[in-house]
Amino acid sequence: MTRYRSYNALPDQPEGTSEIRDRIIAAATQLFEEHGFRKTSIDAITRDARTSKRTVYEYFPDKHAILSVVLAQFIRQRFTELERMKAQDSGLPPRDVLRHLAQGLSDVARDGESKAMYRLLLAEADHVPDIARASHDIGLQQVVELVHKPLSALGIGDAEMAAQIFYDVFVMAPLNRALVGVEPMPINVDVALDALLDGFSRT
């Protein structure tokens, strides 16, 4: 399976996390969502995390590093939930697995937390392009890993391309509509999925 990019801009989750580090991330997440990245100061993060600025810098070299961890943690948490759902569906036919994943991804994309994080990412994309690109790519890669096996099991020749379209249809489209306040399309997951699969089965 193709790996799209290295995700150096988004850090790995450390094996052991401290309660102080968790407080810093929680405080930064809340402040970034409410005020944006540029309007949030290290002083504000320090205050809300109930720690010292020196302690913050012991964990993170700068505010960009905090943003990277906030985004990485959010993405991993969301896809952990979807991986759990996929594991529960392991005995189902591949098309049913894909149907449940499509619905789950669409629901996640439209919820309040996802909209807040995507809004933050778009607002800062010009200022932190590496972080923005890495966030998009790791989300895409997670979806590819979720759906590649059931797509291949259905005999889809170009499962890689089908997975990318799956991401665009069931993640990016509902997320963008939700972000601008447009009511979600009354999309029938079965119809959309059948159209995608039938289109690739003819190629």
Q: Which domains does the chain have, with CATH numbers?
A: 17-61 (1.10.10.60), 64-201 (1.10.357)
For the chain, the average pLDDT equals 85
Instruction: Tell me the residue type at 73.
Output: Q
Calculate Rg over the CA atoms of the chain: 19
The percentage of residues in the chain with a pLDDT greater than 90, rounded to a whole number, is: 33
Q: Which residues of 159-189 are buried (b: 16+ CB within 10 A; e: fewer)?
A: beebbbebbebbbbbbbebbbeeeeeeebeb
pLDDT range class, residue 7, cuts 50, 70, 90 = very low
Instruction: Tell me the residue type at 166.
Output: F
pLDDT of residue 28 exceeding 90, the answer is yes
Spell out the residues 6+ positions from residue 65 whose beta carbon is closer than 8 angstroms to its own: 11
Cα–Cα distance, 114 to 203 (Å, whole number): 34
Cα–Cα distance, 167 to 106 (Å, whole number): 10
pLDDT of residue 49 exceeding 90, the answer is yes
Predicted pLDDT at 190: 84
pLDDT range class, residue 15, cuts 50, 70, 90 = very low
pLDDT tens digits along 96-146: 999 999 999 988 888 888 888 888 888 888 888 998 888 888 888 888 888
pLDDT tens digits along 155-192: 887 888 888 899 999 888 888 887 777 766 556 788 88
pTM score over 0.75 = yes
